[in-house]
Structure 1
């Protein structure tokens, strides 16, 4: 009995000491997160090498917490059913934080601090050799972060000690952010040196998407530029617009499935229709080949971004200024390019020229930041835009594309049986009214049957465009419908991409039976409705599906438009029997 009491007393005392050390480590990690956030948003772009002291502080506290929670008493206490759950949780949390601060964070910080060969000058380049050398340690850090995340998720959650439960929740939240970030860093180290022209100069086609007119990957490809990478040094040239590429052709063949769904819109011969599909590699290959035929130069890849992404990057670089004195900033670039310019310019040529001026001025602000002290902050902002789907990438080099496909910013439809839900709209009217489009998707799993799980999907679309006062170019109906319309009315092709193996049993539009076209793309059933959406109106499309049984939340497709998609995924009810 005396040994038991002594052991319990030891756990109480060392548990209190470990708690203090864990709280101190947590404070250092919070400070670390604050520094990273400041570095991403501040115009001065703080040197992220200053994160090293915070990492060392967190590591020291975590090591002591781990030391306090090891030994026979803690080991035996953690083995006691139910009563030992808090001990197991605290012990596991101390181990996890120690592992993260000692083995995962240091190579990340070291790599970020050494990204530029000379951070004092604006002409410095990304140190590609240093990045290649860091690749093995980042690979190891990514594996450790993933393993730690998995093991921490297995710790007891609802114990009789709330403090232990709160510690576990905080830890898992941090690991849920850290593990993907570390995997991304390892992936970047594997492919970025070659993509940045370490051995051979690379040339990328950069597409600027106008999300005021929706396309599957985001918006209409209104402008483009060529980005050259050589030994880590970047430069922009050859800015152009969709008019320049109007006669460009691509001879790619994506098979019968693609042709059956899109051939009538001539995506391979119509530049602005190349990205009707949300599967970005299709559009990228069309644009790359069309541009290569137009310019007689080879594209090593394609990068697409929209004004929302440019806003995120300008938040780091500061505003750009056009020749006419117009200021383009993080706060106004979306409104300026996708709404205000249509009222400011009645001449189409002048308006397209203005778009190119904005692209050139923004590129001119980005390059010094990419080659100087703002690089770490710019990379942090870029990662945010990649996560939001506002920057997507494709490589013409198969090994690099395989690596990119593992990342969500490749813009690929998943090829796994994982539950999937994707609401995609394509503007079918030729208007610029998608600036005012609100979208909501509700995904509700219902009971199981012998055929699978019933799923109800509700897609709500609202046209918030004013009924008057918009420029004619914004409201023009290029589709020339045979029915009467008013300025501000819009027309959309609304598609729902379901899980592999899903079957549509019925659909309704505003409560009435609706007939949808069916197709298949990348293994996913696709159900499409041609929808007229008058100004100031809302339509609700409901789909009743039967999908293969599953309990995991669906992967949600994010089509980035001006207004973000509002989504709601309801929990799975238990299947009977």
Structure 2
């Protein structure tokens, strides 16, 4: 059965549609007018709201920054080496620091609250015009999280550690530090997240003030995030490495940076350091003549052997740290000591005279047996230059280096035993670490895994990404690297099918004077087949590129040159045997094809007397 199709047609009288329209206008007219009025009024109101709250948020952020600057100054003052004043003023300074932090957190929280809500959210979503609003919102939120979540555990723990040092000594400090490790780890994770969020904020908007604020915030976070991570790692490994759970022993090498090696300088004087419940002592001091002919029973792999085997790093002490990867040196040094004495060590540490100078700035001068004062200002010059002029006898000079190391170490021990000096000493350790003048390796795998994530482990990273490393090894046996200047310019070029072209320009300058230097400083133990003059130097110059990079050409002083290819931990290595006459500069230019040169490279900084001058040029975006 089929139902009939129904068709309904509505017909109205003439004028019905006009009346209906009028009725609709009568009904909806007031709403429409209100909507039009709101559409006209809301944007100015929202703009005024954003303007007022933005001005208020700006003032709150300035107030928070003022409190944080005062807090930083207070912490620096309390770390100064004034023992009696530090003890007397300890409690008030700590109370003032907590008050400053609470004030900064309150201001930052108000700034964050002022930049939230529908008006700010909507403004931040606008194409082009929304950039500054998104940036300001991000700055306020980052400041709130830093002052509320990251800084409190760091600031509040300092008084507890200081009080613990006064009440229970170093063992109590280690216990407190170990208990705070989870808190520091959380703070480090938050700091890293805030840094990443800040980096995602718009970099260039129509409001320069917002761009400057973002740049300043990013710079601060780029410093703070690694520092919080350093603290978190130290809280986990320092107690055990300092003997909280049983005595430890370490090989401590004093590197002579007047003769360059991959990790810094030639390992000369050394000591065996013992830690037990935070107490540090030295069981033995010696120099390279004691262990120069001892062979290390260690296998560092085929790649290491191919790169360094011809120089015998396992059997020649002078070449034991040619690799810039410090764990290699640590394993060789501890293996040498075990072969020499039968004693198994728990790790290795390397420092240099510049780091001793920084530490002596916190502890005060050390006095050597002959009456020589070892100070923050003269340590490098005394041990890396003046000693060679003062002592013509090699044995006397080596004994002087050992005595200098012993005197500085004794001064450190006195400072560690004085709780009032501990903050200043820790501050100096941070300075040494920041300059890359301390390297630490642990023979305990769990500790080493944590250490390897931090720069003070001296690890050559095996991860992919743009990379630029300049490493020099003295090949002449001179002590002329005291006068060596190094510069590196990394310039990305055109995009290629496999990545991007990169030009790395290395300039080396030998400032050694033409006369007046002791023979031991200028003597050439490489006995080159060509004529040289006192002050001429010879270097093995190695450039470490990013994983997957390929060398397309190289020039030395404008002339084509062939480099020796190699590899280490995934990095292509290109080496040149370079004669560097006194009072001269040589320029090596490498042309490379880097697969991931879309961002700034990680720079490997070998620490010598004069720091490396590194310049990274910006990269133009690739089409498509």
TM-score (norm 1): 0.95
Equivalent positions of 1:510-521 (< 5 A) are: 510-521=557-568
For 1:238 and 1:314, how far apart are their aligned partners in 2?
21
Query: How far does residue 125 in structure 1 lie from its aligned partner after superposition?
Result: 4.4
Q: Is the 8 A contact 2:291 2:340 kept in 1?
A: yes
Query: Which has the greater radius of gyration?
Result: 2
Query: How far does residue 64 in structure 1 lie from its aligned partner after superposition?
Result: 2.1
- In the alignment, which residue of structure 2 is the partner of 1:384? 431
For 1:283 and 1:474, how far apart are their aligned partners in 2?
25
Q: Is the 8 A contact 1:518 1:526 kept in 2?
A: yes
Matched, 1:310 2:356: yes
Gaps of 5+ in 2: 1-37
Q: Is the 8 A contact 2:247 2:276 kept in 1?
A: yes
Query: How far does residue 275 in structure 1 lie from its aligned partner after superposition?
Result: 0.2
- In the alignment, which residue of structure 1 is the partner of 2:330? 284
Query: How far does residue 12 in structure 1 lie from its aligned partner after superposition?
Result: 2.7
Q: Is the 8 A contact 2:170 2:277 kept in 1?
A: no
- In the alignment, which residue of structure 2 is the partner of 1:169? 215
Q: Is the 8 A contact 2:555 2:561 kept in 1?
A: yes
Alignment match of 2:269 (pick from 214, 223, 230): 223
- In the alignment, which residue of structure 2 is the partner of 1:184? 230
Q: Is the 8 A contact 1:505 1:545 kept in 2?
A: yes
Query: How far does residue 369 in structure 1 lie from its aligned partner after superposition?
Result: 2.4
Matched, 1:264 2:310: yes
Write out per-residue CA displacement over residues 175-233 of structure 1, whole angstroms, 9 at most, x where no aligned residue: 22111111111111121121111111111111000000011110000011122111122
For 2:412 and 2:168, how far apart are their aligned partners in 1?
11
Cα 1:319/1:70, change in 2 over 3 Å: same
Q: Is the 8 A contact 1:533 1:539 kept in 2?
A: yes
- In the alignment, which residue of structure 1 is the partner of 2:278? 232
Q: Is the 8 A contact 1:116 1:125 kept in 2?
A: no
The answer to which structure has the higher helix fraction is 2
Aligned residues: CA RMSD: 2.1
Write out per-residue CA displacement over residues 18-72 of structure 1, whole angstroms, 9 at most, x where no aligned residue: 2211111011112223334445565559557453222122112112222333334
Cα 1:531/1:105, change in 2 over 3 Å: same
Cα 1:500/1:86, change in 2 over 3 Å: closer
Gaps of 5+ in 1: none
3-state SS of 2:605 partner: coil
Cα 1:360/1:231, change in 2 over 3 Å: same
Write out per-residue CA displacement over residues 476-533 of structure 1, whole angstroms, 9 at most, x where no aligned residue: 1111222221111111111111111122222221122222211111111111111111
Query: How far does residue 475 in structure 1 lie from its aligned partner after superposition?
Result: 0.7
3-state SS of 1:485 partner: coil
Q: Which moved more, 1:384-393 or 1:38-47?
A: 38-47
- In the alignment, which residue of structure 2 is the partner of 1:202? 248
Equivalent positions of 1:414-493 (< 5 A) are: 414-493=461-540
For 1:380 and 1:206, how far apart are their aligned partners in 2?
21
- In the alignment, which residue of structure 2 is the partner of 1:78? 124
Matched, 1:34 2:73: yes
Query: How far does residue 411 in structure 1 lie from its aligned partner after superposition?
Result: 1.1
Equivalent positions of 1:523-538 (< 5 A) are: 523-538=570-585
Alignment match of 1:301 (pick from 347, 371, 374): 347
Write out per-residue CA displacement over residues 312-354 of structure 1, whole angstroms, 9 at most, x where no aligned residue: 1111112111122211111110000000010011111111111
Query: How far does residue 535 in structure 1 lie from its aligned partner after superposition?
Result: 1.0
Q: Is the 8 A contact 1:460 1:540 kept in 2?
A: yes
Equivalent positions of 1:104-123 (< 5 A) are: 104-116=150-162, 118-120=164-166
3-state SS of 2:289 partner: coil
Cα 1:76/1:204, change in 2 over 3 Å: same
Matched, 1:133 2:172: no
Q: Is the 8 A contact 2:298 2:331 kept in 1?
A: yes
Cα 1:533/1:4, change in 2 over 3 Å: closer
- In the alignment, which residue of structure 2 is the partner of 1:58? 104
TM-score (norm 2): 0.88
For 1:459 and 1:147, how far apart are their aligned partners in 2?
36
3-state SS of 2:420 partner: coil
Query: How far does residue 122 in structure 1 lie from its aligned partner after superposition?
Result: 11
Q: Is the 8 A contact 1:117 1:124 kept in 2?
A: no
For 1:174 and 1:61, how far apart are their aligned partners in 2?
18
For 2:589 and 2:274, how far apart are their aligned partners in 1?
46
3-state SS of 1:131 partner: helix
For 1:455 and 1:157, how far apart are their aligned partners in 2?
25
